[in-house]
Structure 1
Amino acid sequence: MPTVTRSDLGAWLLKRAPAGWDGVPGGRLVDDWCVVRGYRSRLIAAGDPVLVWVSGDGRRVPRGLWGLGQVVRAPEVDDLPPGRQPAVRVDVPLFAEPVPAADLLAAGVDDLEVQRLPVGANPSFVSVGQAARLRPLLP
C-alpha cells in the first residue's frame, strides 16, 4: 500500500461490510469506527474529510460510496491498552442514493486503494487528485 502524507490526503475512506450495515440513504452516520493502529491512524485529524464505502457483492446493498462527511475526533492510538483497537469518530451525511462501484468504473475512476485492494484494513485513503476526480460523481 502506498505511503500516505497529509499533503496528498484528499479524504480518508472507511470500509464497511454489508453484513450488519444499517445505513439509510439520506440518513446520517455519527459513529466510532475502528481503525488499525499504525502511522495512518496517527495522521487522522478532526475536520478531515471521510468517505464511507460499503463492500460486498452488491446483492444486499449497493457496493460503493455511501456518504461524505468529516472526522469529529481523531483516534487515540498510542495510549490504548494492548489488544484494543483505536476508533475514529465520524459524522457522515449519507447520500440520497449511493454511488455504485460500477458507476465509478464507468466514469474512469479505477485506481482507488479500495478498488485495488478491497480487503485492506481501515483506514484507506483517497489522494488529492482522486478526490478531485470523484467530486463531480458525488451527489
Structure 2
Amino acid sequence: MLRSGDVACWLLKASGRPAELPAGPGAGPVVLRRCLRRSYRLGLLSAGQPCVLWVSGRLDPGVAALGRIASEVGQEAGGPVVDVELTALAAVVARAALVADPRFAAAEVVRMPAGSNPSYLRPEQWEAVRELFPAT
C-alpha cells in the first residue's frame, strides 16, 4: 500500500493534450479539473502537492506540464475530481527518455500504463523527470 512518504509528485494522465492547456513559451498556468478513481490514494492527495500531467498516446507521450494540486478532492456526478494548476512545458519530457533512465524505468505509469488517476512518482523518479525539464 502506498504511503504519503512514497509520493514525491502526483502524476495525472490524459489520453491526449487537453485543449485548455496552452502550448508554447510564455503560456501561464491554467487550472484544469481532472477525474480520479475512488481509492485510498485520495486520502493522500492534498492541495499544494506537486503534480505533472502525463500525456499518453502515439503523439509525444510523456510529461507535458508541471504544477501543483490546486484543490482538495471533490465530488461530481461522475465521481471524485481534483483541480490542478499546470504550466505547459516548452517541449514534452519524452516517455522514451524517461524510460531509458533506470530511476524512472520502474515508475507505475511505465509498469501499468492503463492504470487510473491518480498515479505517482517516487522521489528518485521525480528527480529523473526534473533533470529532463525543458525550459518553460
TM-score by length of 1: 0.83
CA contact under 8 A between 1:25 and 1:98: conserved in structure 2? no
**1:45/1:71 contact within 8 Å kept:** yes
Segments of 5+ residues of structure 2 without an aligned counterpart are: none
Per-residue deviation, 1:34? 0.6
Q: Does 1:69 align with 2:70?
A: no
- Which residue identity is paired with 2:128? R
Fraction of identical pairs, as percent:
33
In the TM superposition, what is the alpha-carbon distance from 1:126 to its structure 2 partner?
0.5
TM-fit CA distance, 1:25: 2.6
Contact 2:65/2:87 (<8 A) preserved = yes
Q: Which amino acid aligns with 1:64?
A: G
Q: Which residues in structure 2 correspond to 1:28-107 (within 5 Å)? A: 28-58=29-59, 62-76=60-74, 80=75, 84-107=78-101
TM-score if structure 2 supplies the norm length? 0.85
Instruction: Give 1:31 shift.
Output: 1.0
Residue 4 of structure 1 deviates from its aligned partner by 1.7
* Equivalent residue, structure 2, for 1:21: 18
Q: C-alpha displacement at 1:138, in angstroms?
A: 1.7
Are the counterparts in 1 of residues 93 and 129 from structure 2 also a CA contact under 8 Å?
no
Q: Which amino acid aligns with 1:132?
A: E
Deviation by residue 1:44-99 (Cα, 9 ceiling, x = unmatched): 101010010000122xxx110011100110213xxx58x63111111011101111
Matched-pair contact (CA < 8 Å) for 2:73–2:82? yes
- 1: CA distance, partners of 2:37 / 2:99: 27
Whole-angstrom distance in 2 between the partners of 1:112 and 1:40: 16
* 2:3 counterpart residue number: 5
CA RMSD in angstroms comes to 1.8
Structure 1: 4+ residue segments shifted above 4 A: none
**Count of matched residue pairs:** 129
Inter-partner Cα distance in structure 1 for 2:125 and 2:92: 18
Cα deviations across residues 73-131 of structure 1 (Å, max 9, x unaligned)?
0213xxx58x6311111101110111111111233331111111010010001112221
Q: Please report how far the alpha carbon of residue 35 of structure 1 lies from its aligned counterpart in structure 2 after TM superposition.
A: 0.4
